[in-house]
């Protein structure tokens, strides 16, 4: 049948086209990004508005911003996810309300988070342009994805384990910490890595919260420039900055790829354990 | 689970745990209200002075002279979003169909992994690629190349994974009996895809498209880097324009007083528009939330 074959070939063509596009972007990134890459690039602070020097101080700032976001979002996210997944204590209506508002929160554009973070953390709370402001803004952004992943991993724990814990007379707290948490740990790790990935990729929410300063940060109240903000600034505002922008982008994307590989590994181990 | 037996008192730490869980969830749930409250609070000044309609009736944006017409930028957001959807919808739905119905299993797995990689690339990196590679291609030497087409292409790349992955997921939820029945009636694989699988998965596919539209409206960095950012009505594929999100990113750094307040009005409008799209996607059969599907950067 000719129309059958035509349809299938169109789909093959489209899909291979999508692959080719992605390959184009990745190869372009690697090719142009390799040029300035060196050990000094990874350890030194930028000089001459980023045209020279490296991204060492920005790696530190980025790590602090992401670390702050995770440190704040993980406990809140974990406890919220427990409430949603082990819902016996929560009314169904409350759980629906929490889920609904998280769905909307996860869709709020990142530039709006930037506006909010600037108004709330920088000005109202008086934290100024700082790593803390940026990290707290990102914490709000990654909370929905953390909660969703952790909730799913808790739901995947078989009910027999809860019943066994209950039959042994374990308290809810003990059951949570000794039974559910270990069983769900790989899923929690997946959520964690997804959250870190989201935070690393973020630009728009950070420009007006953690700011532009390229020095090595001294403490959490210092302004610190994230890698993604550096890429934007070099490409848009610094003539001759494209080379360094590409090198920074290569470092950023490599970090994200490593994260992605970790997620896959953890997810595979998780599903193997569930199957066993 | 039934309640505890009469006379049973819960251990203290279980009660503490209950409080911790509830207050965490309440905090998480109220964040969206907090965001809304602060954006609204900052927008209040401009809103009470002019009213929301005033920002969408004038076409002139001279913030230092008190002219705050957001209309051309709203039109630019609409134009780039439409352009991105026109490009990404056929490609994304095609890729989803390919994975779910046509591709041999290892090919489908590989292709899905690639699409997920695409979803994980930060928007600022798409913007950089667009600025350095795509824009000169579009400009062709005699033109800057920044504008509607470049912005639409970069945006399309960013929303394509959302569309492809939701389409694939929706197709996989189509009951096998339907497909077996169609096969028993003698329909070939393509007829099964077009006449049975796609109509059955329609709601999921539409939900994915709606979700992708919301992302395209809210996307900032990639568009900002390739759109040219001149405040102008969309006039042609290679003419520069500035979106609502791009305008906020460009001017927040130095805006004060009323100007700053108007930027928050733009943020408020964006937030409400995107929330509307989430609700719409929910109406089309439960928005299939993707691990990497909500807006970034």
Give the mean pLDDT of B102-106: 88
3-class secondary structure, B241: strand
**Distance separating alpha carbons of residues B178 and B199, to the nearest angstrom:** 11
Taking the mean position of all CA atoms in its chain, how far away is CA A90? Answer: 28
Q: B76 to chain A, minimum CA–CA distance in Å?
A: 17
pLDDT bucket at B51, cuts 50 / 70 / 90? confident
ipTM topping 0.85: yes
The yes-or-no verdict on residue B101 having pLDDT over 50 is yes
- Chain B nearest CA to A24, separation (Å): 10
Kindly report the nearest CA distance between residue A83 and chain B, in angstroms.
6
According to DSSP, residue A53 is labeled E
The tokens of B121 are what?
């690339």
Q: Is the dihedral of CA A36, A38, A41, A44 positive or negative?
A: negative
Q: Look up residue A1 and give its two tokens.
A: 């049948």
DSSP conformation class of B64: G
pLDDT of residue B292: 36
Q: Which of residues 230-259 of B touch A (CB under 8 A)?
A: 245, 248-249, 252-253
Do the Cβ atoms of B25 and A90 come within 8 Å?
yes
Per-residue model confidence (pLDDT) at position B194 = 82
B30 to chain A, any CB pair closer than 8 A? The answer is yes
- Could you give the maximum distance between any two Cα atoms of chain B, in Å? 85
Report the 10 Å Cβ neighbour count for A244: 27
B199-223: average pLDDT: 91
- Residue B8 CB neighbours (<10 A): 7
pLDDT means per 10 residues, chain A with 276 residues, are 80 92 93 89 87 90 95 94 78 86 92 96 94 96 93 89 90 87 84 90 93 88 92 92 93 91 75 62
CB contact under 8 A, A256 and B29: no
Residue showing tokens 């393509």: B190
**pTM (predicted TM-score):** 0.90
Nearest to B124 among A14, A116, A232 (CB): A232
In this prediction, residue B1 has a pLDDT band, given cuts at 50, 70 and 90, of: very low
* Angle in degrees, CA B269, B275, B279, rounded to 5: 145
Average pLDDT over residues B266-277: 92
Q: What is the pLDDT of residue A129?
A: 94
Site from A6, A112, A238, A266 to mutate, B interface, most B CB atoms within 10 angstroms? A112
Q: What is residue B143's predicted lDDT score, i.e. its pLDDT? A: 80
Nearest to B93 by CA among B176, B162, B182: B162
B216 touches chain A (CB under 8 A): no
- Residue pLDDT, tens place only, B116-133: 888 889 999 999 999 999
A192 close to B (CB below 8 A): no
pLDDT class of B5 with cuts at 50, 70, 90 = low
Res B186 pLDDT > 70 = yes
With beta carbons under 8 A apart, name residues in chain A contacting B294: 106-107, 144-145
Confidence of residue B88 (pLDDT cuts 50, 70, 90): very high
pLDDT of B3 over the 90 cut: no
**Residues of chain B with C-beta less than 8 angstroms from the C-beta of A18:** 91, 95, 111, 114-115, 118, 160, 164
Q: What is the mean pLDDT of residues B234-245?
A: 90
* Chain A residues within 8 A of B131 when measuring between CB atoms: 235-236, 242
Closest CA to B28 of A72, A144, A4, A250: A144
Torsion of CA A209, A211, A217, A222, to 10 degrees: -60
Query: What is residue A184's predicted lDDT score, i.e. its pLDDT?
Result: 86
What are the chain B neighbours of A115 within 8 Å (beta carbons)? 38-39, 42, 248, 252, 263-264, 267
Helical ranges in A86-180 per DSSP H: 92-107, 110-117, 131-155, 159-167, 172-174
**Residue that has been written with the tokens 């709330």 in this structure:** A120
Tell me the sheet residues that pair with A52.
Answer: A47
Q: Looking at CA atoms only, how far is residue B204 from chain A in angstroms?
A: 17
Closest CA to B227 of B209, B251, B247: B247
Phi, psi of B67 (to 5 degrees): -105, 115
**Residues near B118 by Cβ (< 8 Å), separated by ≥ 6?**
A18, A22, B157, B160, B161
> What pLDDT is recorded for position A274?
59
B273 touches chain A (CB under 8 A): no
Residues 117-176 of A with CB under 8 A from B: 118-120, 124, 140, 143-145, 147-149, 171-173, 176
């Amino acid at each position: 049948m000719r129309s059958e074959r035509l349809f299938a070939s169109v789909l093959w063509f489209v899909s291979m086209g999508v692959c080719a596009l992605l390959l184009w972007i990745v190869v372009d990134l690697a090719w142009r990004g390799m040029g300035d890459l060196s050990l000094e690039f990874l350890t030194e602070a930028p000089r001459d508005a980023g045209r020279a020097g490296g991204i060492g101080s920005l790696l530190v700032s980025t790590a602090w911003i992401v670390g702050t976001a995770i440190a704040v979002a993980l406990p809140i996210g974990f406890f919220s996810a427990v409430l949603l997944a082990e819902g016996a204590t929560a009314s169904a209506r409350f759980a629906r309300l929490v889920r609904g508002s998280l769905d909307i929160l996860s869709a709020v554009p990142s530039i709006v988070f930037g506006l909010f973070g600037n108004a709330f953390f920088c000005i109202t709370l008086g934290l100024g342009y700082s790593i803390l402001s940026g990290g707290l803004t990102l914490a709000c952004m990654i909370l929905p994805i953390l909660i969703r992943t952790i909730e799913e991993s808790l739901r995947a724990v078989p009910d027999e384990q809860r019943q066994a814990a209950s039959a042994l007379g374990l308290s809810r707290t003990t059951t949570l910490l000794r039974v559910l948490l270990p069983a769900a740990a790989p899923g929690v790790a997946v959520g964690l890595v997804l959250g870190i990935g989201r935070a690393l990729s973020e630009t728009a929410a950070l420009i007006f919260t953690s700011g532009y300063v390229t020095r090595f940060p001294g403490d959490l109240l210092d302004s610190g420039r994230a890698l993604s903000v550096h890429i934007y600034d070099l490409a848009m505002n610094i003539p001759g900055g494209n080379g360094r922008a590409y090198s920074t982008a290569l470092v950023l994307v490599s970090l994200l790829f490593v994260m992605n590989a970790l997620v896959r590994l953890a997810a595979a181990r998780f599903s193997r354990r569930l199957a066993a | 689970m039934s309640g505890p037996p009469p006379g049973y008192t819960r251990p203290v730490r279980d009660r503490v745990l209950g409080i911790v869980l509830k207050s965490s969830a309440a905090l998480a749930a109220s964040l969206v209200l907090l965001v809304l409250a602060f954006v609204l609070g900052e927008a209040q000044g401009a809103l009470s002075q002019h009213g929301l309609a005033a920002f969408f009736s004038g076409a002139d944006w001279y913030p230092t002279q008190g002219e705050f017409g957001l209309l051309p930028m709203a039109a630019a957001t609409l134009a780039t979003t439409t352009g991105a959807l026109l490009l990404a919808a056929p490609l994304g739905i095609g890729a989803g169909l390919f994975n779910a119905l046509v591709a041999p299993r290892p090919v489908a797995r590989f292709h899905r992994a690639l699409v997920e990689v695409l979803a994980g690339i930060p928007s600022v990196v798409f913007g950089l690629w667009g600025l350095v590679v795509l824009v000169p291609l579009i400009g062709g030497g005699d033109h800057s190349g920044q504008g509607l087409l470049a912005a639409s292409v970069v945006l399309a790349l960013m929303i394509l994974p959302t569309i492809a992955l939701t389409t694939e997921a929706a197709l996989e939820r189509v009951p096998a009996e339907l497909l077996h029945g169609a096969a028993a009636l003698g329909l070939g694989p393509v007829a099964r895809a077009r006449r049975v699988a796609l109509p059955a998965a329609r709601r999921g596919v539409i939900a994915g498209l709606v979700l992708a539209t919301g992302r395209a409206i809210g996307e900032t960095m990639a568009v900002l880097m390739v759109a040219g950012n001149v405040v102008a009505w969309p006039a042609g594929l290679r003419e520069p324009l500035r979106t609502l999100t791009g305008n906020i990113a460009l001017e927040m750094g130095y805006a004060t007083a009323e100007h700053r307040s108007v930027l928050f009005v733009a943020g408020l409008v964006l937030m409400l528009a995107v929330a509307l799209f989430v609700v719409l996607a929910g109406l089309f059969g439960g928005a299939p939330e993707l691990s990497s599907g909500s807006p970034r950067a």
